[in-house]
Chains A and B, each alone.
Chain A
Amino acid sequence: MQNVEEFEDFEERKGSWLTGGRAALILVVLALVISAFFVEDWHQLISIATKPDNIPIVALIPLVIFFTWLGMKQARANDELAEHLQADPQLAKTHHRKTQPWRPGWARELHVWPYLIRIEFLAAIIVTVILYVWSITLNAPLEEPANPNLTMNPSKAPWYFLGLQEMLVYFDPWIAGVVMPSLLIVGLMVFPYVDSNPLGNGYYSWRQRRFAVSMFLWGFFMWIALIIIGTFIRGPGWIWFWPGQRWDHNAVVYDRNRDLHEIFGITSMPGKLVFGALVVGGFYFVGGLFFHWLMKRSRFKFRYLFHPREFLHWAKTSDEFESKILARTSILQYLTFQFFAITVLLAFPIKLILRLVFTIKYVWVTPWFNI
């Protein structure tokens, strides 16, 4: 542990207390405090947040934040250990290579009975207690009897499917309801097969698996963000109401949603077909270039945002380690990853921005389907 001080990170942390994480935290807190002044209907906000069926999603937000922190904390500890061992090959030979304490003479394995069984038993008891308290204090919702003649407005899916329901805004039902969920499932399944990085098997790590972990986080956080939008933002008529904004049941939105080809003044059907195909093709091409660029980047540092020159340097030079990983990736793995990354991870936020910011409905219109 003698040359810990040599770590770049340590110096960085010593130099300034304002690390990227802290800055982000301050910004989030500031944003929350400022937005609290804009709440016009606290009663409604609270009634949404405390609706019994929304309690799980309200609980999920701090849980995800906590477990992300817990995982990243252990990842950082492992990364520091790996860096330390990398610098000291002699130590690497003798070290037990874990951040958990270990002494010579300690058994590396424990008996499941009782050391694991008792933990499982304890966990079961704690979960049971939580369930009892939750079930005694909070009643499962029960509305009026089902009535096909009385439409609920807004009529929302259960919270875990709100992501799909929110997708309906941006895509036609066959994409949002059928194709996207299938792609999500298949995309998750191929995840282990396209990750060609042999490092980080069985321990938390960030530096050794930056790209894979960040791709998953991108999808996972996007899914949760969609659920949050569906729960807290969508009001009657599935109209966008900011949290705290009073729901207006008679609200009419004067958006005029256009298709992309209308902006370019294309009116003939063959023209629309070719134009849309070109746009989608171009999107896949640019998206592919983007992910190819992204997977070779070295670690992004917060200070690059304020130092354009360093940012450019970061953007231009590819990381040696990441390039090595890329070289191990087979063509099939690479293409599969690109397909899912562009179709799910990239297309979705792009479509969201096109719709919400630029009020563009379709980019590709054909007689059979619209995208």
Chain B
Amino acid sequence: MEPERPDGPDVKTEEGQSKATALIEKAREQGLALRDRAKKEFEGYKDPQQTQLWKSIFRVSHDRSDPRNRSLAVLSNVFLHLHPAKINRDATRYSFTWGMGGITFYLFIVLTFTGVLLMYYYHPVKGAAFRDILYLEHDVPFGKLLRNMHRWAAHLMIITTWLHMFRVVLTGSYKRPREFNWCVGVVLLVLTMLLSFTGYLLPDDQLGFWAVTVGTNMARATPIFGHEGPFGPQLGMTPYNDVRFGLLGGSIVDANALLRSYIWHCIGIPLVASIFMAVHFWRIRKDGGISGPAPVMLESEMKALKK
């Protein structure tokens, strides 16, 4: 049974109604205020560069055309900070640098990316290695594209490295104070070719096998350290302890050679190359940035040599 309510429904209703209206009114007011606030806030989001999230990531807004922000855009970004804030206006011309150094670095990134993806599908083991390439070509989605791109980017990188060196010579950019950086570049050139060469064996097919056999056979003839080289046999070098044995992990190109070549290719040389690259790029900045196009010097302005 329902309990009887002492105060009648009439009195209560009126009081209750006014309370409710007040509540509703208040809620409405608050709702409106919230709407205004939200509106205002969303208005602010229209300029994402003013948000905390943006600022926390990029530290500065990028689209401002005032010089300070343009400089900060480069200086406060880890990926861009190797650049100076400003650059010789003519150095942005393609005809001066041909873009070859930058393209070489970009290809290194492409090769790292595709290379890591390839590593997911590859076992550096005799028998499995060749089969993995077949799987890549026929079963792995986009596997063929991946392998092709890794191969052609590697070839292209060698070409761009050579052309970069060619440009540096033609513009005399190896001259003081950049002599040492030129040497670092020569090391990188050699490392690039070694990277490509160690990768050549990995499909474990006839092409790679014989190319590496021919290549490492030369190591037999290393003077002093090779068993067929001058003074090698006299110093006790045999096919089982000479420099070629060290390279291949055996006296023939076999399972150990495959593993060694894999580790050199994926870890050893890229690590060393990365260190040299860091020095190479850092030295560009320290040696005064890009070498030119510099104002032409005249013969008559050649300073006399200090005696």
Contacts and interface: CB of A to CB of B under 8 A. Distances in A.
Interface of A: 53, 55-56, 59-60, 63-64, 67-68, 70-71, 74-75, 78, 81-82, 85-86, 92, 96-100, 106-117, 119-120, 123-124, 127-128, 130-132, 134-136, 138-148, 150-152, 155-161, 164-165, 168, 172-174, 176-179, 185, 188-189, 191-193, 195, 198-205, 208-209, 212-213, 216, 220, 321, 324, 327-328, 368-369
Nearest to B297: A199
Contact of A142 (B106, B203, B218, B229): B203
Interface centre among B91, B203, B230, B231 (most CB of A within 10 A): B230
13 contacts: A56-B156, A99-B293, A100-B90, A111-B86, A115-B87, A130-B156, A141-B207, A142-B134, A157-B214, A192-B176, A198-B303, A201-B173, A205-B296
B151 interface: yes
A216 B182 CA distance: 14
Given A110-B86, A111-B85, A158-B197, A199 B219 contact: no
Contact of B171 (A155, A177, A204): A204
B193 A161 contact: yes
Interface stretch (B20-28, B66-74, B269-277): B66-74
A209 to B, nearest CB: 6
B196 interface: yes
B94 A201 contact: no
Given A63-B159, A100-B93, A130-B156, 6 more contacts: A98-B90, A111-B67, A165-B214, A178-B218, A201-B173, A321-B299
Interface string B60-92: 001000010011011000001001111111111
A201 B204 contact: no
Given A173-B218, A202-B172, A178 B293 contact: no
Given A136-B145, A142-B205, A192 B174 contact: yes
Nearest to B62: A113
B183 interface: yes
Contacts of A59: 159
B102 A123 contact: yes
B296 A203 contact: yes
B206 A144 contact: yes
A140 B219 contact: no
B206 A150 contact: yes
A328 B215 contact: no
Nearest to B254: A148
B211 A155 contact: yes
A199 B85 CA distance: 28
Contacts of A135: 145, 148-149, 152
Given A145-B130, A164-B218, A132 B149 contact: yes
Contact of A111 (B70, B193, B291): B70
Pick from A116, A144, A150 the residue with the most CB of B within 10 Å.
Answer: A116
The secondary structure that dominates the B interface is: helix
Interface of B: 62, 67, 70-71, 73-74, 80, 83-96, 98-99, 102-103, 106-107, 110, 130, 133-134, 137, 144-145, 147-153, 155-156, 158-159, 162-163, 165-167, 169-176, 178-179, 182-183, 186, 189-190, 193, 196-197, 200, 203-211, 213-215, 217-223, 226, 228-231, 252-253, 291-300, 302-303, 305
Contacts of A168: 218
A86 B302 contact: no
A192 B178 contact: yes
A92 B211 CA distance: 57
Nearest to B176: A201
B209 A147 contact: yes
Contacts of A202: 171-173, 175, 291-294
B286 to A, nearest CB: 16
B85 A112 contact: yes
B98 to A, nearest CB: 6
Contacts of B70: 111, 113-114
Nearest to A330: B305
Contacts of A159: 155
A15 B234 CA distance: 68
Contacts of A188: 165, 186, 189
A203 to B, nearest CB: 5
A211 to B, nearest CB: 12
9 A-B pairs with least C-beta separation: A177-B218, A202-B294, A202-B292, A173-B221, A146-B209, A97-B295, A135-B148, A155-B210, A202-B291
Contact of A109 (B89, B218, B292): B89
Given A111-B85, A192-B182, A201-B176, A179 B153 contact: no
Contact of B222 (A120, A178, A212): A178
A112 B74 contact: yes
A117 B84 CA distance: 11
B213 to A, nearest CB: 7
A321 to B, nearest CB: 6
B14 to A, nearest CB: 70
Nearest to B215: A157
Given A67-B166, A109-B87, A140 B147 contact: yes
Contacts of B173: 201-202
Nearest to B163: A67
Which residue, of B87, B231, B253, has the highest number of chain A Cβ atoms within 10 A? B87
Contact of A174 (B73, B179, B226): B226
A114 B83 CA distance: 12
B73 A148 contact: no
